[in-house]
Chain A
């Protein structure tokens, strides 16, 4: 029974011996049962043998035993070793990680004993923890702190993953947030990349087979089926004649809108358009360049309205009443506007391109 009960007392934030004694006694007082094994985490503070002995006797007076001391100070580690106490010597920089979640001695849940069951469970989760450490390492490599961190980190994770996870429940959450602040980690290709002429050429080289496989084609289908309307389309001439001259859009300004476009609202741009939000039915977007909607596109979108046939329309979910690219025109097939599906959380990012005078839809991840 005694072997199963570990306690980690994190004193990394303590810089003075008095502080250590004070914090430790406070932590020990909160324990309700005796016979626990104490894992002591220290900073790189130097402690001589008498100080360590007094700490040990303090722990023994509360009916517990000092099992392991974790320190980054080599001299302290050597003295602890002489006292027949297990020692974990950790790298200084990795030890600073634990300051992310300093041990709060007043917090109830942090002094809860870890029983066998939870340890077994944590072993399974240990993998995730290691992965997180890797992420931290990468992040720390970026700021050139340590090169030996990988070794230290993994050894730590193997031995203390269970315990640390228990005592720092928000640790993974915290590390998960780090990459977001680090733009180097996420290399999202910007829309400008896709608009480069070289990329465009690669699109044009798609074979017919691939093309048929990749295209969603629902807009095209509707166009084909529509016999009654055909005579009418002949009379519909669009505003400008199409050109295939390459237009480099990254030189054009991009209108960036962070709101929902509602019915009756019309957005016109001389460059590209990026909308973070939905475009409701009845709204209209006209852009000389590309249109990107980070949301549901349900209105009318007209990309390349000055005649650029290479313009694209992208949306997280394509429910557009009409899609227009330069002089090409397509409309949503009848009966596909089910307002209820718009609300669903399943997104199928799609891109519309004009190919041979018809508008085809492509799943973006199939590029």
Chain B
């Protein structure tokens, strides 16, 4: 049975596409799936850094496309999990080095061997986006509870709907700060869903550990204490088809309630 190709996209930059890709990929791998991550951000690659595989890259996706190596040679295996592979982007080229058909071919080939092919999409709606979406049959739209990110996500959803291959798209709300939602300074998860009218796949709280994990090259899902890591694992389980209750969304609320209870006791 062929695996599924999931593109992780957002339109706006800096909302956490690459972090999401690295963490969902690692989580799916840890859950026993064969996963390959494709970085399509040619010229501005970062996924290798987040996975800590920077020093292992010999061949890139451009080498594969230009037939300087076999596809298998270009796959970099993860340090810990042999089920997880990375197909890195070239840093010394730009988006025009690869076209949509070539990426579709690569996705088709990888689909045969891997359960999940996660495509990390670059920001924007130009060539890079068109390439990344080409081979995908599923999409995860990453957004943050800010108007600018939501507007861009809306645009992206529109583009995804017009694509033939993409059967399913789901929304992932990143960098949610329960405290700000409580004080009405941030849009709540419900508000975002209302605006975009889109299925939800998960809510990731803002987490300081993300910054340290990025610098260390170790995805946050490997950190058991991290709240964001736990949220990403739940997202991965939903991708696998498990029916994980809306625990993620409630989680921040319960946290606040816990704190409230804590202070109530004190008082």
Contacts and interface: CB of A to CB of B under 8 A. Distances in A.
B165 interface: no
B247 interface: no
Contact of A232 (B43, B52, B55, B77): B77
Nearest to B42: A264
Given A235-B72, A235-B73, A264-B43, A322 B55 contact: yes
A334 B91 contact: no
Interface string A57-97: 00000000000000000000000000000000000000000
B251 to A, nearest CB: 32
Interface string A218-244: 000000000011001001100000000
Interface in A320-337: 321-322, 329, 331-334, 337
B52 A334 contact: yes
Nearest to A320: B55
B43 A331 contact: no
A149 to B, nearest CB: 58
Interface residues of A, number: 21
B261 interface: no
Contacts of B92: 264-266, 282, 284
Given A229-B77, A235-B72, A264-B43, A282 B55 contact: no
Contacts of A334: 52, 55, 79, 217
A263 interface: yes
Contacts of A329: 58
B14 interface: no
Interface residues of B, number: 21
A281 B54 contact: yes
Contact of A282 (B75, B91, B217): B91
Contacts of A339: 215
Contacts of A236: 58-59, 73
B77 to A, nearest CB: 6
A228 B73 contact: no
B82 interface: yes
B81 to A, nearest CB: 9
A118 B70 CA distance: 77
A322 B58 CA distance: 9
A281 B91 CA distance: 10
Q: Which 5 A-B pairs have the closest CB atoms?
A: A331-B55, A282-B91, A332-B55, A266-B92, A321-B55
Interface of A: 228-229, 232, 235-236, 263-266, 281-282, 284, 321-322, 329, 331-334, 337, 339
17 contacts: A228-B77, A228-B79, A228-B82, A229-B56, A229-B77, A235-B72, A236-B58, A236-B59, A264-B43, A264-B92, A282-B92, A284-B91, A321-B55, A329-B58, A332-B55, A334-B55, A334-B217
